[in-house]
Amino acid sequence: MSTFKAPKGTYDLKPPTSAVYLAVREAIAAPLKRAGYGYVETPGFEQVELFSRGVGESTDIVTKEMYTLTTRGGDQLALRPEGTASVLRAALEGNLHKDGNLPVKLWYSGSYYRYERPQKGRYRHFSQVGAEAIGAEDPALDAELIILAVDAYKSLGLSNFRLLLNSLGDKECRPVYRAALQDFLRGLELDEDTRRRIEINPLRVLDDKREDVQKQLVGAPLFRDHLCEACKAYHDQVRELLTAAGVEFEDDPKLVRGLDYYTRTTFEFVHDGLGSQSAVGGGGRYDGLSEMIGGPALPSVGWALGVDRTVLALEAEGIALDLPSPTEVYAVPLGDEARKILFGLVTELRRQGVATDFAYGGKGLKNAMKSANRSGARFAVIAGERDLAEGNVQLKDLESGEQKAVALADVVGEVLAKQG
């Protein structure tokens, strides 16, 4: 046992569980690739100001949850708590928006970090797959991203998730709603930190999960009653496109999510089998974020889906993914000459695309065959001195138990034929 353990609130991904995480990431990415989203990868840390400006200085993410550090040169850096600000920064730095082909459509996958109270479904290190469409204001783009997320969840077999939908308005109607909400909140019995939040960003108070706060929010003004005509029309188009695509959703007038950059379309996916930590992903439109971080006006929309949460949702629904075995053929050499010859055969099979493993460490036949069965292989290739003297190996079907001699030169072709 190691002297060291993974830091509190983090986890290691190990086989066989890691195969499920990989399958979930691939399932989420597949619809994005079909829709023209290209892969982007950003550093695990960024300048602190990128997140304080973009995510919002009043958010819990920035004020309580970011891991920050100071370099030897005095730079203030933060481990990335979310992906959107980093991806937008990368797109602006790379001038991807200047080739005239807007929107810039990007997807990403990686680990993110927040200093939270560890609990099931909420870790200090977590995995997400995200997508961003940068540089276009179009309700069809909002609908596209939501549909792609729904299709990803359904491709995994999930059915007990719900889509919550809201609009947070724009720079025209948000100030009116903000003032009405502030007037309401100032009359409540709230602690000093929450009162300060009322003046900085009152929408954050709506996102407060404390029961005593939520009780007082009954009767709070709703954004839908303050939307301007343009935002109403935009939101109606998003809803119509989703309905036409057969996507069910629930209007949630209190949905604001935990980031300051959202405008207009805001959405969240929740799974009722996960208890209090029910959110499995979400996103929305962020038309002003580019300007917040020093870029030009680039209306954009995106989402991030939690890989950890999606795996928990699969478990809650009792779904076991049909994962391919990591090993198709297991080679068992008996003797030094057989080791040399079968090792060459293993290399050839792998080069032909066949997942193949080898009985390392000079195991005897009995132990080697136990390893072959544990590996999940369908076939074992066994060779001893007598077999090789005759130019053969033994090919055993581990499912049926059938075993036959096959000429060494024909083994690759035989395995490939049986695969087909």
Per residue in 196-242, pLDDT tens?
888 887 887 887 778 888 888 888 888 888 899 999 999 999 999 99
Mean per-residue pLDDT, 165-191:
89
How far, in Å, CA of 304 to CA of 56, rounded? 18
- What domains lie within the chain, and their CATH numbers? 17-173+227-316 (3.30.930.10), 329-419 (3.40.50.800)
**Lateral strand order in the sheet of 329-333:** 356-358, 329-333, 379-383, 392-397, 403-407
Distances (CA, A) of 134 to 152, 172, 195, 234, 239: 21, 21, 35, 18, 21
Strands (E), 33-103: 38-39, 45-47, 68-70, 76-79
**Mean pLDDT, the chain, as a whole number?**
91
How far, in Å, CA of 6 to CA of 126, rounded? 13
How far, in Å, CA of 220 to CA of 254, rounded? 9
378 is in an annotated binding site: no
199 is in an annotated binding site: no
pLDDT at 52: 85
Q: How many residues does the chain have?
A: 420
Helix (H, G, I), strand (E, B) or coil at 146: helix
Per residue in 82-135, pLDDT tens?
999 999 999 999 999 997 789 999 999 999 999 988 877 788 999 999 999 999
114 is in an annotated binding site: yes
Of 179, 286, 287, 170, give the one whose Cα is nearest residue 228: 170
More confident residue, 23 or 278: 23
Work out the pLDDT band at 331, boundaries 50, 70, 90.
Answer: very high
172 is in an annotated binding site: no
- The answer to whether residue 385 scores a pLDDT higher than 70 is yes
Six-digit token string for 322: 């049909």
Work out the pLDDT band at 41, boundaries 50, 70, 90.
Answer: very high
273 is in an annotated binding site: no
211 is in an annotated binding site: no
- The answer to whether residue 58 scores a pLDDT higher than 80 is no
More confident residue, 66 or 314: 314
257 is in an annotated binding site: yes
End-to-end CA distance of the chain: 43
128 is in an annotated binding site: yes
113 is in an annotated binding site: no
Handedness of CA 142, 148, 149, 154 (dihedral sign): positive
